[in-house]
Structure 1
Amino acid sequence: MLLFSVAILVGLVLLAWSSERFVDGASSLARHWGIPPLVVGIVVVGFGTSAPEMLVSLTAAMQGNPGIALGNAVGSNITNIALVLGVTALLMPLSVHSRVVKRELPLVLLAGLFSWVLLRDGSLSQWDGILLVSTLVGLLGWMVHTARAAVTAGDDTLLQEIAAEMPATLSQKYAILWTVLGLLVLILSSRLLVWGATGIAQAFGVSDLIIGLTIVAIGTSLPELAASIASVRKGESDMAVGNIVGSNLFNNLAVIGLPALLSPIAVPDDFLSRDLPIMLGLTVLLLLFNFTPPKRNVIARPEGAVLLLAFIAYQILLYTQST
């Protein structure tokens, strides 16, 4: 038991470290290759921040643990909205000024509904995976197009914050080094995390889905929590919300879709009846908090408290049902 716990802890620490190194190296390489900073900020950095979830889900699927793969994706979305935004909004109300974020918020709900439509038959096929990943590619192209229009207008705060937070450009040699090393450590740490999580699940006699929804999902969402808290401390609330919106889009489409490309995945009944509806419900709640009175385009402290209480209630529900 101790060995499995240490494996999870070390795996999470290495995941956080390697994903940051991978983002630094990949974004520098992209700029060396002449890719515009806007594209780097939206695509490369967005992909990199969701890399822990992607690698963990791919590893879990390859090792025959589909519950961890699916639980990690949906559990991370629940954690991002209810825990990360809940805690962040309690620290400081989150004002959403960016037109890019306002456009993307409904897309998170649509992506979640799309994944639910494909999953509701109890199986995630390779064709389903192709549809999900292809949708993400199309959305990324649309996001870059709309962001370019916002750059031309010059009045979108999120794009200004993205430019300010871009990692410093490394030399090409170090960019290649950090990209390759970061990816290798991501792969190794994800294998270590899945091994430890599977061992814990077997030791306690709970399903790997529960472990994926709790330990793995919360652990892989900790970088988003740290990034969002850092953003609000700098007064960059659009960045804090934008990080979560981007991460949840990747989770709904890539983190669920990529494992299915390897082999079909059986979807647990509990996942369809409990976890997916809760994820969709929290997404709807986030949209209501942002777009409806009394404060439009603001996630206030009371709303942050509601989100955090929802996260606690969900963890209690998982605990009572698993025991």
Structure 2
Amino acid sequence: MFLILGWTAILAIGIVLLVKGADFLVDGGAKIAAYLGVPTIIIGLTLVSFGTSLPELGASLNAVLKSRQGISVGNVVGSNIANILLVLGVSSIIRPISVDVDVIKREIPMMFGAMALFVLFAGPILSDGNRIERWQGGLLLLALVAYLVFFASIVLKGRDDEIIDEVEKEERKTLKEEFHWPMNILKVTGGIFGIIVGSELAIRSAIFYIERFDLIEGVVGLTIIALATSLPELSTSSIAAFKEEADISLGNVIGSNTFNILMVIGVSAVVIPLTFSEEIYSSFLVMIIVSVFLTISIYLGEKLSRVEGIVMVVAYFAYILYLY
């Protein structure tokens, strides 16, 4: 009993280090980039966007390096399911989420495109089945670059350069007056350290549960690790809902789901080809179904209601019970 409690505490510490490490890395990196003159739009589309998927990336990479590819893939699929059903469900229960038209026009098609690539690569047509090769991971990373370039072009096309340049000059002037190299370098290095140590503790804890209770590693990735790495989104989205800013949760979740597939799976597969169990492949279908449900709900009602939120949260816990 004490051993189980001990490893549970280690898992909790690992998740805290993962999440805070990602925050420190993004904060320090963004300030250094801004100080060096990198445009705000580039910082937003790279560092800040990557930040939402850094916990998943850290955990998945650590799992891959320990030859636990099932945890790695399960983490991404499970996180995407948790982001939609749990994060958006809880947020819409707190306060119904109105829909930004741009989310429907641009971000949802991108998410489905990423999922289509994921399922196609993992299926029997382009591989031996239940496996993602290095070259497929490379293509996912190329798709990520195309995704970033596409959004950068849209944002740059719609902005007023004169006003934004003036604002950025003022912000950069203020930043240079308050900037401290040692503090921001410490944030970046501390963030990297937190992600490395946090992912190590989290995955070692997961391996303990797998061996102690004879669990399937893919199921642990789909549930324990996925839920843990989705806690930051759940926390920030819930706080946003209480502040009557729940609308931003939808775009953040959809963007995070796209990044999880293209970046986390892409990087992990390039490092070591990914193999996984039938439980994970069947959860691909769950991921697609909940994404379709979300899209239909948005198109029909132009918002996520409290009733839909309750249905989503109940569906998530039913899915967890089904896996176990």
Q: Do they superpose with TM above 0.5? A: yes
* Change in CA separation of 1:305 and 1:216 when aligned onto 2, cut-off 3 Å: same
Could you tell me how far apart the structure 2 residues matched to 1:218 and 1:65 are?
18
User: Which of 112, 116, 119 is equivalent to 1:116?
Assistant: 119
Indicate the residue corresponding to 1:8 in structure 2.
11
2:261 is aligned with 1:252: yes
* Runs of 4+ off more than 6 Å: none
* Equivalenced residues, count: 303
CA distance in 2, matches of 1:239, 1:253: 21
From 22, 35, 43, the equivalent of 1:32 is 35
Identity, in percent, stands at 34
- Offset at residue 237 of structure 1 (A): 2.9
Task: Identify unmatched segments of 5+ residues in structure 1.
Answer: 154-162
> Amino acid of the residue matched to residue 153 of structure 2?
H
The corresponding residue for 1:310 is: 315
CA-based RMSD? 2.0
Q: Secondary structure at the match of 2:72?
A: helix
Matches of 1:30 and 1:127, distance apart in 2: 31
What TM-score, normalized to structure 1? 0.89
Q: Which has the larger radius of gyration?
A: 2
Amino acid at match of 1:137: V
Counterpart-to-counterpart distance in 2, 1:100 and 1:285: 15
* Residues in 2 aligned to 1:28 and 1:77: alpha-carbon distance in whole angstroms: 29
Q: Does 1:136 align with 2:144?
A: yes
Alignment partners' CA distance in 2, 1:36 and 1:236: 26
Q: Over residues 29-76 of structure 1, what are the superposed CA-to-partner deviations in whole Å (9 max), with x where a residue is unaligned?
A: 121121222222232111012101001100100011011101100000
Corresponding residue number in structure 2 for 1:188: 197
Unaligned runs of 5+ in 2: 124-128, 162-170
Is 1:105 matched with 2:117? no
Shift, 1:199, TM fit = 0.6
* Deviation (angstroms), 1:232: 2.2
Instruction: Deviation per CA, 1:222-261: give whole Å up to 9, x if none.
Output: 0001111122233323321121111101111111121111
Q: Does 1:243 align with 2:252?
A: yes
Q: Residue type of the partner of 2:254?
A: V
Secondary structure at the aligned position of 1:235 is classed as: coil
**What's the offset of the Cα at 1:283?**
0.8
Q: What does residue 156 of structure 1 align with?
A: none
**TM-score, structure 2 as length reference:** 0.89
- The answer to whether the 8 A contact 1:101-1:242 is kept is no
Structure 1 residues 82 and 253, CA, compared in 2 at 3 Å: closer, same or farther?
same
Residue among 297, 306, 316 paired with 1:301: 306
Corresponding position: 1:61 with 2:64: yes
User: C-alpha separation between the residues in 2 aligned to 1:300 and 1:42?
Assistant: 30
CA distance in 2, matches of 1:237, 1:9: 27
Most deviating of 127-136 and 237-246: 237-246
Which residue of the partner structure matches residue 228 of structure 2? 219
